[in-house]
Structure 1
Amino acid sequence: MTSPAPLLAVQDLRVTLNTPRGPADALRGVSFALARGQTLGLIGESGCGKSITALALMGLLPEGARAAGSVRLEGRELLGLPEDDWCRLRGNRLAMVFQEPMTALNPLQTIGHQIGESLRLHRGLDRAAARAEALRLLERVQLPQAARRLDAHPHQLSGGQRQRVVIAIALACGPDLLIADEPTTALDVTIQREVLALITQLVEEDGMALILISHDLGVMAETVQRMLVMYGGTVVESGATQDVFSRLAHPYTRGLFAARPRLGMPRGTRLATIPGRVPELLDLPAGCPFSDRCAHVVAGCHQSMPPALPVSDGHAARCIRVGELA
């Protein structure tokens, strides 16, 4: 019996951006598949390609960017679609929770109007029906005093409340795929946990697929079933979350894990760091993109991009020394 086709299938996705110094490869052969109800995490430092991946999946790449490879939604190729077709998908079958809710919301329009906009556009609801559904959505995302918030503007809400509004907008039309890009940035720890728990609950209830972008390993451990560790525009390690955490196979993943803060550390303890910093896209070294920062580098690391080598069933890492290190 053959397994059903995945909801989302990404194959060899490549994105080239125009920069003042010339064309730069922002994504270099990203591949993964995601079924309904599955959760996937993208993790890595800023500049590793996580958000560009999300923007490519939403058809929101910067002007002049070039995408190649394949992105299929239930077998339908999305790369190269006309903008009108993208507009019918965004907010309807594909939805995104952006990193900063204050910039994602229109400061001049009320909360009720902004939630109702996609309902009127994609579901054909009239103004009264869209307002009633907007109220139901605000109550579903547990926004306090939801009825009063319908006529409020974004600046009248707290950061956590604005993020709940953005989630309500994303869920309005019952999307098949929800992408959450650092959805808890700038929120305090208690509100972060509430927002993540809310997203997880809603995904489970609706059977959506979820792509969660974060730099927080703890968030990944608690939220997603599988994870992709990204560096230099490529996936350097992938696998079931539990497998990746139990057997850190790539030196970059190890560096991220070692640098995490932990409860109970003595006061004044310095966190471990990964030496150097993420290079500019045009300055990536030849071969393994992490080679200039890696403590385990050998001459072969500079020769060519390492292939994804198996660590265990469904768990792979792009490192020529994976057999020794894992």
Structure 2
Amino acid sequence: MMASRTGSLPLLEVENLRVRLNTSRGPADAVRGVSFSLNRGETLGLIGESGCGKSVTAMALMGLLPDSAVISGSIRLGGRELVGLPEPDYCQLRGNRISMIFQEPMTALNPMHTIGRQVAEPLRRHKGLAAAEARREAIALLDRVGLPDAAGRASAYPHQFSGGQRQRVTIAMALACHPDLLIADEPTTALDGTIQRQILDLIADLVAERGMSMILISHDLGVIAENVQRMMVMYGGSVVENGLTAVVFAEMGHPYTQGLFRARPHLGAPKGTRLQTIAGTVPELADLPAGCVFAERCAIAEERCRNTLPPPVMVAAGHTVRCLRTDLSMANRAGARNP
């Protein structure tokens, strides 16, 4: 876990976070011992395949886990413990000090209310603004996020907008109360490439403009490379690699990280070139092994890898890898850079 560079208290401190969910196959450890800290104004990326625990981690931070979920460890926002916080107290934080942009804007927006009313709601709830004042501020926010004719369209409903426009509305809602921490969970998943770039640039501009901290969740290495200072690679509910984004991209100490790099598309590849894949499938959360969660898909795994949970190994300043065969893994990373 990285300490604050200024010596002041980090904005967010997560220690040994564990989340157990009830599934049709029994209890599942969706998040296993995740620890990190985030300073004010700092950006962090979470990357990994679907089912690796990224979104569950975000939901734990937001206090939005199912009632049946069992959460342990510590989540401190500005020094205040959030694990076990009563729901009314959490409601005072959500949309105020901590906000989230969800994957699918159509499900994040209420189809029964106008977008102006929805953007104004957190301003009325948390800032105590009167209806007219909240509407004026909502229109200003919609204009800031690039919604055309914000004043004229504030009375329209979500279904009257395109996917990219709806995502701009959800960004305006998330930023209405100037939160300290913004969580963006795959915010461009359903958008085409051009709109995706616009939305990511908009989020980056607003984060810098307002001095917020941000956690960006993605499965896209390019998105992570261009938008965050630090990154954590997650697999099977655990963080398998953690460090400054530029360092992780250069070193790629874990075999899973290397697999993600090899699987990415490459400009200039001959027509018909098949993308490389990571052998095997992501394990079911209810059936995670006792040892390394990646062992069954790893080309360099030994028997001990299947039986021993790897501790984090510091391979460089602030760069950790969970692998029992780190030396061999890092010796193989050249193939990930040049597949």
In the superposition, the TM-score normalised over structure 2's length comes to 0.95
Q: Distance in 2 between matches of 1:14 and 1:159?
A: 34
Can you give the 5+ residue segments of structure 2 that lack an aligned partner in the other structure? 331-339
The offset of 1:2, in angstroms, is 6.9
Q: Cα RMSD between the aligned structures?
A: 0.9
- Letter matched to residue 115 of structure 2: I
Q: Does 1:208 align with 2:212?
A: yes
Q: Does 1:115 align with 2:133?
A: no
Q: Distance in 2 between matches of 1:266 and 1:155?
A: 41
Q: Distance in 2 between matches of 1:103 and 1:95?
A: 16
Q: Distance in 1 between matches of 2:324 and 2:66?
A: 34
- Letter matched to residue 160 of structure 1: G
- Which of 226, 233, 248 aligns to 1:229? It is 233
- Which aligned pairs between 1:146-295 and structure 2 lie closer than 5 A? 146-295=150-299
The corresponding residue for 2:20 is 16
- Equivalent residues of 1:17, 1:65 under 8 A apart: yes
The offset of 1:265, in angstroms, is 1.0
The offset of 1:324, in angstroms, is 2.3
* Cα distance per residue 1:196-225 (max 9 Å; x no partner): 000001000111000000000000100000
1:2–1:221 CA distance, 2 compared to 1 (3 A): closer
The offset of 1:256, in angstroms, is 0.4
Aligned pairs, number:
326
Q: Distance in 2 between matches of 1:269 and 1:176?
A: 44
Q: Distance in 2 between matches of 1:155 and 1:20?
A: 34
Question: The residue matched to 1:109 in structure 2 has which SS?
Answer: coil
Q: Structure 1 runs of 4+ off > 2 angstroms?
A: none
Q: Does 1:132 align with 2:136?
A: yes
The offset of 1:106, in angstroms, is 0.3
The corresponding residue for 2:87 is 83
The offset of 1:96, in angstroms, is 0.1
* Cα distance per residue 1:239-263 (max 9 Å; x no partner): 0000000011000000000000111
- Letter matched to residue 137 of structure 1: L
Question: The residue matched to 2:33 in structure 1 has which SS?
Answer: strand
The offset of 1:308, in angstroms, is 0.5
The corresponding residue for 1:28 is 32
Can you give the 5+ residue segments of structure 1 that lack an aligned partner in the other structure? none
Q: Distance in 2 between matches of 1:90 and 1:285?
A: 35
Q: Distance in 2 between matches of 1:17 and 1:252?
A: 24
- Letter matched to residue 4 of structure 1: S
* Cα distance per residue 1:276-322 (max 9 Å; x no partner): 11111112222000001011111110122100101110001000111
- Which of 58, 69, 72 aligns to 2:62? It is 58
In the superposition, the TM-score normalised over structure 1's length comes to 0.99
- Letter matched to residue 126 of structure 1: A
The corresponding residue for 2:335 is none
- Equivalent residues of 1:285, 1:292 under 8 A apart: no
1:2–1:179 CA distance, 2 compared to 1 (3 A): closer
The corresponding residue for 1:296 is 300
